[in-house]
Amino acid sequence: MLSGDDNMALDLIESGGDGVISVASNLIPGEMVEMIHLALKGDMKEARALETTLSPFFSACFVKRIQSLSKQRCLCTVGVKKNFVSRCVL
């Protein structure tokens, strides 16, 4: 069984799930792979620590606004972009 929600992936793995179909991995693939691999190996302490670090990123990605603005905010959250500038959609 796979989780379809990044912020619930570890809970599912702890309950016997096999992984996640991840939206966040499009923007932070290395971090998501590491978190899921840690969990699948049974190292939930380290997986949870990484999840805690990524939690603001998950929240920023799924703000109920225009998706492109959410993605810009996500990239700023993890330091890929330096400034988040909200602009009107034409």
Q: Tell me: the pLDDT tens digits for 55-64?
A: 888 877 766 5
Report helix, strand or coil for 67: helix
Distance of alpha carbon 33 from alpha carbon 51, whole angstroms: 12
Domain ranges of the chain: 2-77
Residue bearing the bigger pLDDT, 16 or 5: 16
pTM over 0.75: no
Confidence of residue 33 (pLDDT cuts 50, 70, 90): very high
Query: 3-class DSSP state for residue 12?
Result: helix
Residue 84 predicted with pLDDT over 60:
no
